[in-house]
Chain A
Amino acid sequence: MKIAVLIKYCPDSEAAINVVSGKLDTSSAKFSVSPYDEYACEEALKIIESQGSGEAVVFNVGPEKNGKGLRDELARGADRAVHIVTEKEITCPEFTSRLLAAALKQENPDLILCGWKGIDYDLGITGTKVAEKLGIPHVMVVSKLTIADGKAICTRQVDSGDEIIEVPLPAVIGAQKGLNEPRYPSLKGIMKAKKKPASQITPAQLGVEEPTGKAMYTGFTFPPSKSAGKKFEGPESVVEVVRLLREEAKVI
């Protein structure tokens, strides 16, 4: 079984993000593979191990530095990497999904796994868009996955219990936390990663152009910092507190 894994390489969950004149500054942030995509890759490795054969191909769209993210997954055990190299980070999911869909068409995987969202922009839409462009089903936020007889049986946790959804393959499955526990790469894996096949392609080679008329990020701001609270002391202040709660805070 050939499994494609779509990964995003983004600032680590503990990275400090700055905003400089309305733009994100990630220059001092440590980057890593988005955790939900790590679940996706682990699941691909587990499926291949349980079936005894198969190929896990990891895909990424983004600048040259993202090659490190792909190599991390090769070190964990993925077999091959496809890097769609762009000059800058692509923040438009429509563009990203067009690129991924074009690259995936060349590969014809039996199953496509991705994180249900990236931990940077939190959009949770790229996997769905890829499925739409390939004309195949998708199930997102999956916390248990069983592959059998050309079908994917997916479990989604909802507030009141579990939903079980069955889709024919190929399909796009978006991993949720709890799907598995991603393994560490081994030292041998790290050393082998460099020797594994990794191809680079450009949007032009895929024949994909940047969409026009798309939604664009125009600015970022931090939430306003909280102003200092007021302190009241002694029983005689109660009247004043009640007055302020009524007139200023307007909560009573």
Chain B
Amino acid sequence: MDFSYSEEELEVLDLVRQVADEQLAPNLAAIDESGEFSRGNFKLLGELGILGALFPEEYGGTDLGFLTYAMCVEEVSRGDFNTGLTMSVHSMSASTILKFGTKSQKEKYLPGAIAGTNLLAFALSEPDYGSDSASIKCHAKKVSGGYLLNGEKAWITNALDADQFVLWATIDPQLGKTGITSFIIEKGTKGLGIGPNEHKMGGGGTTTSSLILTDCFLPNENRLGEEGKGLRTALNSLSGGRIGIAANATGVSQRAINEAAAYSKKRIQFDVPICEFQGIQWKLADMDTKCEAGRLLYRKAAYMKQFAGNDINKDPIKEASQAKCYATDVGLEICSEAVQIFGGYGYSREYPVERLMRYIKVTQIFEGSNEIQRNLIARELLKS
């Protein structure tokens, strides 16, 4: 691994860091309270070209590669967890179109996705099938000229705000894995219903709802990739998504460390700042070491993902799961310790760290629960 970043990469990161500090971080408390998705933050990332890191120039991207992309997700998430999460899920959905879409699908959806004018969501989970994604039941019945979709999708990030969904369904539930097919579905398509926003522990900033498909007709041109190859598409996208979530959690962890370290220097007890107590120092030291380890794991996975390119066989499945699982597990520990360092103030919504702790919990659950990640890691390591 060569982690000597180019001058250009460092300048890009400097910009993203500055935008996170000046434009995202100051509004986080208000966004959290409002419970609404911040379209403005998403558009800002598009305008500055930050959403284009994974995409070729012909669609308006900058093609900076997966490592720089993931580092940008970390910086954005340090400013605002929600915007970082949106960036990760949106990029994962858009790169599914980039990898498996036809030329006309790419031309239709990618420029807007990169410019931040249309938001994509990823619809794989169902109420009864989350981790067991090979068993999904949403049915895409073949009909003349296309497919008729019936079923339900659950826990869809940004469902209420998305302009398009990348959605998985089976052409025949009897076929199991080999029936799963992916589709692109536009908001407002007849037969596509969107459920109410879930009230989540993490509060506002992104919406989460279910999709209800009732005799929803999709023409053949909306099928993404080949029939029956959908699970492969989903899994390849998910490994990228997991690296994104690891970067997302690392950004939140870093924010928690920064907040706790700054507070420990100004909070005076027994006539000295509490950072002079070894008990606090050791907490901060452990928090920082764990955060750095998670960062190295996601950067290694991102580096491998970048070099795997379009070769699905080189997809860093184990490394992506390790990064996701580790960075999010330590993320909750780090945020919890940050709350502890703030004491009573840490538990108050007036201060920033309780929010980080609420947000980070979900990173252990979504994009494949950490239990599933451990299964994947074990499966990969026992393979040979």
Contact = CB atoms under 8 A, between A and B. Distances in A.
B15 A185 contact: yes
A184 B48 CA distance: 7
Nearest to B44: A184
A190 B11 contact: yes
B49 A75 contact: no
B54 to A, nearest CB: 12
Main SS at interface, chain B: helix
A185 B50 CA distance: 11
Contacts of B47: 186
B19 A190 contact: no
B49 A188 contact: yes
A187 B60 CA distance: 11
A187 B18 contact: no
Nearest to B64: A187
B53 A187 contact: yes
A17 interface: no
A191 interface: yes
Main SS at interface, chain A: helix
Interface in A173-192: 184-191
A187 B49 CA distance: 5
Contacts of B15: 184-185, 187, 190
A186 B50 CA distance: 8
Interface in B1-60: 8, 11-12, 15, 18-19, 47-50, 52-53
A133 interface: no
B369 interface: no
A194 interface: yes
Interface in A192-242: 194
B102 interface: no
Interface residues of B, number: 14
Contacts of A190: 8, 11-12, 15
Contacts of B62: 187-188, 191
Contacts of B53: 187
Indicate the size class of the contact surface on chain A. Answer: 10 to 19
A4 to B, nearest CB: 24
B52 A187 contact: yes
Contacts of B52: 187-188
Contacts of A184: 15, 18-19, 48
Nearest to A186: B49
Contact of A191 (B8, B18, B50): B8
A186 B48 CA distance: 4
Contacts of A186: 47-49
A75 B48 CA distance: 11
A190 B64 CA distance: 12
Q: Which of A184, A186, A188, A189 has the most CB of B within 10 A?
A: A184
Interface of B: 8, 11-12, 15, 18-19, 47-50, 52-53, 62, 64
14 contacts: A75-B11, A184-B15, A184-B18, A185-B48, A186-B48, A187-B12, A187-B15, A187-B49, A187-B50, A187-B53, A187-B64, A189-B49, A191-B8, A191-B62
Interface of A: 71, 75, 184-191, 194
